[in-house]
Amino acid sequence: MGDEIELDITNVAHGGVCVSRYGGRVVFVADTIPGERVLARVTEARKKSFVRASTVRVITASEHRREHVWAAASLDRDPAERAGGAEFGHIDLAEQRRLLASVITDSLRRMAGIEREVVVEAAPGDDECNGLGWRTRISLHTDAAGRVGPYAARTHTVVEVPDYPLAHHEVAMLTLGLPGTVRAGQTLDVIAPSASPPFVAVSEGSRGPQRGAARIRERVGSREFELSKTGFWQVHLAAPDVLTAAVQDAIDPALFDPAADNLDLYGGVGLLAAAVLDRFPGKTRITTVESDVLATECAADNLADSPGAYAQTGRVDRYLANYQRGATPAELARMRAATIILDPPRSGAGGEVCAALISLAPAQLVYVACDPVAFARDAATLTAGGYTLTGMRAFDLFPHTHHVEIVATLVRSDLLGSRSVSAE
């Protein structure tokens, strides 16, 4: 810990760090780019197989290095004082996306044996503003000394910063009045909905923001969605529109049966179920499954204009297990004809859910993923269980960070020749 070593950076790793080797050990290095030589300080050395380090000084710079978009996260600050949340801010946008694409393709190759190239697409307007001003939600913290700000990268240390360049202008303006108005140990969620006034939700310690009946509204195309004030919603202001269109495009219409037992798993407040209903208007049946009671209540209201839409509160693994146990032959037939959307948390759907999907054998899956490694792990399970990855797109919905969104289509392999299926 604390040693400073010179390193040659070879490639990028998942998690916003790059890779080097020193003394026979892998070193994961922050704030650098493949091809660079840097002086780095060891920040974690507890593992025998690898250590972590942060760049202190660039000796040989990459052609893709740029002045950091956020001075508070740049090399001008000591690594312990660098704001977290913009770990790719020193790299030009095009190279950021190339690095993200390489993480996706490498994960699929290593974990699922799938060779597939992908281009990470920009969200509308991001190139024109250099990937700034997109965050409609940020979380800030206060410490015992009364400081207000984000955590330093990979720590729970609060650092003071003069600005928030990734934040939407309404969010950035709200943060200006926060110092002096809060107490130690509070967390501040600063939120600017698209169809409700901006606000700050205050919570104490690590308990998270209080949940309640109060709702806000978000606009996506011609629809408005209600959600609880601190409920989950996509952070990038363009992400709901981008993902709506991507999910609609990812569904193979030749395999879509409106009468099937179509599902929107981890459905939240119904955003992607609405995407399906708008893509196939009329008598489409679809059920959202979501463990959060408040989100399910909002989903029921948001989809109330569609008679075939239902909102079910429950854990996805339990819902699928109960379906399997109680389904009639007719219901199982409707499930085999189904299109299932799944948008799991960062950890992925997991083995139990994937096994249930393989057993139920719906016609097609549209998998929305925010973690390439978790997606690759689930893709390995699903393709081994009889599905084929037929389409995949990736979107840079978190510019200047290592996060990326994937929308993939997996079709039951026996249907690839017929390209049609029916619940009849």
DSSP bridge partners of 311: 288
**Same domain flag for 318 and 353:** yes
Q: Taking Cα atoms as reference points, which of 339, 340, 391, 401 lies closest to residue 370? A: 401
pTM: 0.95
Give the integer Cα–Cα distance in Å for 79 and 43: 9
Total number of domains in the chain: 3
Binding residues for S-adenosyl-L-methionine: 234, 266, 290, 343
Distance in angstroms (rounded) separating the CA atoms of residues 248 and 361? 21
Domain membership of residue 85 (yes or no) is no
**In this structure, which long-range contacts are made by residues 69-76, counting pairs with CB atoms below 8 Å and at least 24 apart in sequence?**
69/130, 69/131, 69/132, 69/165, 69/166, 69/400, 70/161, 70/163, 70/165, 70/166, 70/400, 71/162, 71/163, 72/159, 72/161, 72/162, 72/163, 73/153, 75/31
On whether both 223 and 289 belong to a single domain, the answer is no
pLDDT band at 208 (very low <50, low <70, confident <90, very high): low
Residue 211: pLDDT band by 50, 70, 90 thresholds? low
What's the CA gap between 257 and 145, in Å, rounded? 59
Same domain, 241 and 345: yes
Catalytic residues: 370
User: Taking a C-beta distance cutoff of 8 angstroms, is the pair 290, 267 a contact?
Assistant: yes
Based on the fold, state whether residues 111 and 159 are members of the same structural domain: no
> Is 178 a domain residue?
yes
Predicted local distance difference test score (pLDDT) of residue 46: 77
List alpha helices for 16-135, DSSP H.
93-107
In-domain check, residue 88: no
Task: Judge if 327 and 386 occupy the same domain.
Answer: yes
The predicted-structure confidence for 31-77, as pLDDT tens digits, reads as follows: 999 999 999 999 998 778 899 999 999 999 999 999 999 999 999 99
Residue 254 shares a structural domain with residue 268: yes
State the residue range of the domain holding 41. 4-65
Which of 167, 201, 228 is the last residue before a domain boundary?
A: 228
Known binding residues are 234, 266, 290, 343
The pLDDT-based confidence of 417 (bands split at 50, 70, 90) is: confident
- Does one domain contain both 350 and 238? yes
Rounded CA-CA distance 230/211 in Å is 7
Residue 90 within any structural domain of the chain: no
Are 12 and 147 in the same domain? no
Task: Please check whether residues 259 and 202 belong to one and the same domain.
Answer: no
| 294 and 185 assigned to the same domain | no
User: Are 107 and 121 within one domain?
Assistant: yes
Whether 91 is in a domain gets the answer: no
CB under 8 Å to 343, separation ≥6 — which residues? Answer: 264, 265, 266, 267, 268, 272, 368
CB-neighbour burial class of residue 158 (10 A; exposed 0-12, middle 13-18, buried 19+): buried
Q: Which of 104, 90, 110, 108 is nearest to 29 (CA)?
A: 90
Sequential DSSP letters for 164-206? -TTB-HHHHHHHTT-TTS--TTEEEEEE--SSS--EEEEEETT
| pLDDT tens per residue across span 251-270 | 999 999 999 999 999 999 99
Letter string b/e over residues 280-294, b meaning 16 or more CB atoms within 10 A of that residue's CB:
beeebbbbbbbebeb
Average pLDDT along the chain: 94
